[in-house]
Amino acid sequence: MKIKLTRLSIALMLILSSCHQEIKSEKGGIDIISNVYFNASKGLDEMQSFHISKISYSEDDLIEIVPDRSFPEMSKQIYYINDSLCYPIGSERKTTILSEIALKQKPLLVWQKKEGAVFSKEWIPNYRNRRKLSDTILFGKQYKRFEINSPWNYTRFYIYPTDTILPYSLYRHAEQDYHGRLERIDSYNKKNDIFVTLQLIPRKSWDESARELFEFNRFVTRTKNE
Protein backbone atom coordinates (compact mmCIF):
# COMPACT_ATOMS: atom_id res chain seq x y z
CA MET A 1 0.00 0.00 0.00
CA LYS A 2 2.85 2.35 0.83
CA ILE A 3 4.46 1.63 -2.55
CA LYS A 4 1.25 2.49 -4.39
CA LEU A 5 0.89 5.75 -2.52
CA THR A 6 4.48 6.65 -3.27
CA ARG A 7 4.03 5.96 -6.98
CA LEU A 8 0.82 7.98 -7.01
CA SER A 9 2.55 10.91 -5.31
CA ILE A 10 5.37 10.82 -7.85
CA ALA A 11 2.89 10.74 -10.72
CA LEU A 12 1.00 13.74 -9.33
CA MET A 13 4.25 15.67 -8.90
CA LEU A 14 5.22 14.97 -12.51
CA ILE A 15 1.83 16.14 -13.76
CA LEU A 16 1.98 19.35 -11.74
CA SER A 17 5.52 20.11 -12.85
CA SER A 18 4.63 19.53 -16.50
CA CYS A 19 1.78 22.02 -16.23
CA HIS A 20 4.29 24.74 -15.40
CA GLN A 21 7.02 23.67 -17.80
CA GLU A 22 8.86 26.75 -19.03
CA ILE A 23 9.59 27.33 -22.70
CA LYS A 24 12.75 29.26 -23.49
CA SER A 25 12.40 31.89 -26.20
CA GLU A 26 15.27 31.36 -28.65
CA LYS A 27 15.10 34.57 -30.69
CA GLY A 28 13.56 38.01 -30.37
CA GLY A 29 13.87 41.34 -28.66
CA ILE A 30 12.86 43.36 -25.62
CA ASP A 31 12.28 47.09 -25.28
CA ILE A 32 12.36 48.71 -21.85
CA ILE A 33 10.54 52.02 -21.74
CA SER A 34 9.81 54.34 -18.82
CA ASN A 35 7.43 57.29 -18.58
CA VAL A 36 7.96 59.76 -15.74
CA TYR A 37 5.10 62.07 -14.70
CA PHE A 38 6.02 65.07 -12.53
CA ASN A 39 3.51 66.73 -10.17
CA ALA A 40 1.31 63.71 -10.80
CA SER A 41 -1.41 64.72 -8.32
CA LYS A 42 -2.11 67.79 -10.49
CA GLY A 43 -2.43 65.80 -13.72
CA LEU A 44 -0.37 63.75 -16.15
CA ASP A 45 0.55 66.54 -18.58
CA GLU A 46 4.12 67.09 -17.33
CA MET A 47 5.72 63.90 -18.65
CA GLN A 48 9.05 62.69 -19.97
CA SER A 49 9.58 59.39 -21.78
CA PHE A 50 12.80 57.34 -21.77
CA HIS A 51 13.76 54.42 -24.01
CA ILE A 52 16.02 52.75 -21.48
CA SER A 53 17.17 49.72 -23.41
CA LYS A 54 16.79 47.79 -26.65
CA ILE A 55 17.74 44.14 -26.21
CA SER A 56 17.98 41.58 -29.01
CA TYR A 57 18.79 37.95 -28.29
CA SER A 58 19.73 34.79 -30.12
CA GLU A 59 19.56 31.87 -27.71
CA ASP A 60 22.05 32.76 -24.92
CA ASP A 61 23.67 35.72 -26.72
CA LEU A 62 22.25 39.18 -25.96
CA ILE A 63 23.00 42.44 -27.73
CA GLU A 64 21.88 45.46 -25.70
CA ILE A 65 21.67 48.90 -27.28
CA VAL A 66 21.44 51.79 -24.82
CA PRO A 67 19.83 54.76 -26.59
CA ASP A 68 21.15 58.25 -26.00
CA ARG A 69 18.60 60.07 -23.83
CA SER A 70 19.07 63.34 -25.69
CA PHE A 71 18.92 61.69 -29.12
CA PRO A 72 17.02 58.38 -28.73
CA GLU A 73 17.56 57.48 -32.39
CA MET A 74 21.30 57.24 -31.64
CA SER A 75 22.99 54.63 -29.46
CA LYS A 76 25.01 55.68 -26.44
CA GLN A 77 26.53 52.24 -25.87
CA ILE A 78 26.25 48.67 -27.13
CA TYR A 79 26.88 45.62 -24.97
CA TYR A 80 27.36 41.94 -25.68
CA ILE A 81 25.93 39.92 -22.79
CA ASN A 82 26.29 36.20 -22.21
CA ASP A 83 25.24 34.52 -18.98
CA SER A 84 26.26 37.00 -16.25
CA LEU A 85 29.12 38.61 -18.20
CA CYS A 86 28.93 41.88 -20.11
CA TYR A 87 31.29 43.28 -22.75
CA PRO A 88 31.16 46.79 -24.28
CA ILE A 89 31.34 46.75 -28.09
CA GLY A 90 33.45 49.43 -29.73
CA SER A 91 33.16 51.38 -32.95
CA GLU A 92 33.75 48.32 -35.17
CA ARG A 93 30.48 46.87 -33.94
CA LYS A 94 29.28 45.55 -37.31
CA THR A 95 32.32 43.28 -37.68
CA THR A 96 32.69 42.22 -34.05
CA ILE A 97 33.21 38.48 -33.61
CA LEU A 98 31.31 37.68 -30.42
CA SER A 99 33.18 34.47 -29.68
CA GLU A 100 36.49 36.37 -29.59
CA ILE A 101 35.38 39.20 -27.30
CA ALA A 102 35.93 37.14 -24.15
CA LEU A 103 39.51 36.46 -25.25
CA LYS A 104 40.32 40.14 -25.78
CA GLN A 105 38.31 42.01 -23.15
CA LYS A 106 37.97 41.88 -19.42
CA PRO A 107 34.28 41.27 -18.69
CA LEU A 108 32.00 43.28 -16.47
CA LEU A 109 29.44 41.49 -14.33
CA VAL A 110 25.94 42.41 -15.47
CA TRP A 111 25.03 43.24 -11.87
CA GLN A 112 27.64 46.03 -12.01
CA LYS A 113 26.49 47.56 -15.30
CA LYS A 114 25.28 51.15 -14.76
CA GLU A 115 23.58 51.88 -18.10
CA GLY A 116 20.58 50.41 -19.83
CA ALA A 117 18.65 47.46 -18.41
CA VAL A 118 19.16 46.78 -14.73
CA PHE A 119 20.19 43.21 -13.92
CA SER A 120 19.52 42.48 -10.28
CA LYS A 121 19.38 39.45 -8.00
CA GLU A 122 17.58 41.46 -5.32
CA TRP A 123 13.96 40.87 -4.41
CA ILE A 124 11.27 43.51 -4.82
CA PRO A 125 11.32 45.72 -1.68
CA ASN A 126 8.56 44.70 0.78
CA TYR A 127 7.62 41.81 -1.50
CA ARG A 128 6.37 39.72 1.42
CA ASN A 129 3.87 42.49 2.24
CA ARG A 130 2.29 42.49 -1.21
CA ARG A 131 -1.49 42.32 -1.67
CA LYS A 132 -3.23 40.50 -4.50
CA LEU A 133 -5.40 42.56 -6.86
CA SER A 134 -8.01 41.41 -9.35
CA ASP A 135 -6.89 40.61 -12.88
CA THR A 136 -7.15 43.36 -15.45
CA ILE A 137 -6.97 43.81 -19.23
CA LEU A 138 -4.39 46.29 -20.49
CA PHE A 139 -3.59 46.91 -24.17
CA GLY A 140 -5.61 43.83 -25.09
CA LYS A 141 -3.75 41.48 -22.73
CA GLN A 142 -4.96 40.05 -19.43
CA TYR A 143 -2.66 40.55 -16.46
CA LYS A 144 -2.36 39.23 -12.94
CA ARG A 145 -1.69 42.06 -10.47
CA PHE A 146 -0.41 42.73 -7.00
CA GLU A 147 0.40 45.91 -5.08
CA ILE A 148 2.84 47.02 -2.42
CA ASN A 149 1.98 50.03 -0.29
CA SER A 150 4.49 51.73 1.99
CA PRO A 151 4.64 55.17 3.65
CA TRP A 152 6.85 56.35 0.78
CA ASN A 153 5.66 54.53 -2.34
CA TYR A 154 2.65 52.83 -3.83
CA THR A 155 3.48 50.30 -6.54
CA ARG A 156 1.47 47.99 -8.79
CA PHE A 157 2.92 45.05 -10.68
CA TYR A 158 1.43 43.50 -13.83
CA ILE A 159 2.27 39.90 -14.78
CA TYR A 160 1.27 38.35 -18.08
CA PRO A 161 0.55 34.60 -17.61
CA THR A 162 2.81 32.64 -19.97
CA ASP A 163 5.14 29.64 -19.97
CA THR A 164 7.56 31.39 -22.34
CA ILE A 165 10.51 32.91 -20.50
CA LEU A 166 12.82 35.58 -21.87
CA PRO A 167 16.57 35.88 -21.25
CA TYR A 168 15.93 39.11 -19.32
CA SER A 169 13.38 39.78 -16.60
CA LEU A 170 12.70 42.69 -14.26
CA TYR A 171 12.26 40.45 -11.19
CA ARG A 172 12.62 36.74 -11.89
CA HIS A 173 11.43 35.65 -8.43
CA ALA A 174 8.01 37.27 -8.95
CA GLU A 175 7.68 35.64 -12.37
CA GLN A 176 8.34 32.23 -10.84
CA ASP A 177 5.77 32.81 -8.10
CA TYR A 178 3.05 33.93 -10.54
CA HIS A 179 4.00 31.69 -13.49
CA GLY A 180 4.21 34.55 -15.93
CA ARG A 181 6.19 37.52 -17.22
CA LEU A 182 6.44 40.81 -15.33
CA GLU A 183 5.77 43.36 -18.07
CA ARG A 184 4.81 46.52 -16.23
CA ILE A 185 5.47 48.33 -12.94
CA ASP A 186 3.58 51.50 -11.95
CA SER A 187 5.03 53.36 -8.99
CA TYR A 188 3.97 56.55 -7.23
CA ASN A 189 6.44 58.40 -5.01
CA LYS A 190 4.23 60.01 -2.37
CA LYS A 191 6.83 62.47 -1.10
CA ASN A 192 8.00 63.81 -4.47
CA ASP A 193 4.63 63.46 -6.24
CA ILE A 194 6.20 61.55 -9.14
CA PHE A 195 4.47 58.73 -10.99
CA VAL A 196 6.68 56.32 -12.97
CA THR A 197 5.71 53.55 -15.36
CA LEU A 198 8.25 50.92 -16.41
CA GLN A 199 7.30 48.68 -19.30
CA LEU A 200 8.97 45.57 -20.68
CA ILE A 201 7.76 45.10 -24.26
CA PRO A 202 8.68 41.81 -25.96
CA ARG A 203 9.07 41.70 -29.74
CA LYS A 204 9.76 38.92 -32.24
CA SER A 205 12.30 40.83 -34.35
CA TRP A 206 15.87 41.94 -33.73
CA ASP A 207 16.96 45.56 -33.70
CA GLU A 208 18.65 46.46 -37.00
CA SER A 209 22.13 46.92 -35.46
CA ALA A 210 21.80 43.64 -33.55
CA ARG A 211 20.62 41.86 -36.71
CA GLU A 212 23.79 42.94 -38.54
CA LEU A 213 25.92 41.62 -35.68
CA PHE A 214 24.11 38.30 -35.37
CA GLU A 215 24.11 37.67 -39.13
CA PHE A 216 27.81 38.57 -39.45
CA ASN A 217 28.68 36.15 -36.64
CA ARG A 218 26.50 33.45 -38.21
CA PHE A 219 28.43 33.94 -41.48
CA VAL A 220 31.80 33.75 -39.67
CA THR A 221 30.78 30.57 -37.84
CA ARG A 222 29.51 28.94 -41.03
CA THR A 223 32.72 29.87 -42.88
CA LYS A 224 34.92 28.38 -40.14
CA ASN A 225 32.98 25.12 -40.21
CA GLU A 226 33.21 24.66 -43.97
* DSSP per position, 179-196: TEEEEEEEEEETTTTEEE
CA distance readout (Å), 168 to 146, 155, 172, 200, 209 = 21, 21, 8, 10, 19
Selection from 223, 215, 225 nearest residue 58 by Cα: 215
Q: Check residue 3 and give its pLDDT.
A: 41
Which residues of the chain are modeled with pLDDT < 50?
A: 1-5, 14-18
In whole angstroms, give the CA distance from residue 166 to residue 111. Answer: 18
In whole angstroms, give the CA distance from residue 99 to residue 137. Answer: 43
What dotted CATH number matches 28-217?
2.50.20
Q: Check residue 91 and give its pLDDT.
A: 56
In whole angstroms, give the CA distance from residue 167 to residue 6. Answer: 36
In whole angstroms, give the CA distance from residue 63 to residue 55. Answer: 6
The residues, ordered by sequence, that sit 6+ positions from 128 with a Cβ below 8 Å of its Cβ are: none
Instruction: Name the region of 219 (left: φ>0; alpha: ψ -120 to 50; beta: rest).
Output: alpha
Q: Check residue 11 and give its pLDDT.
A: 52
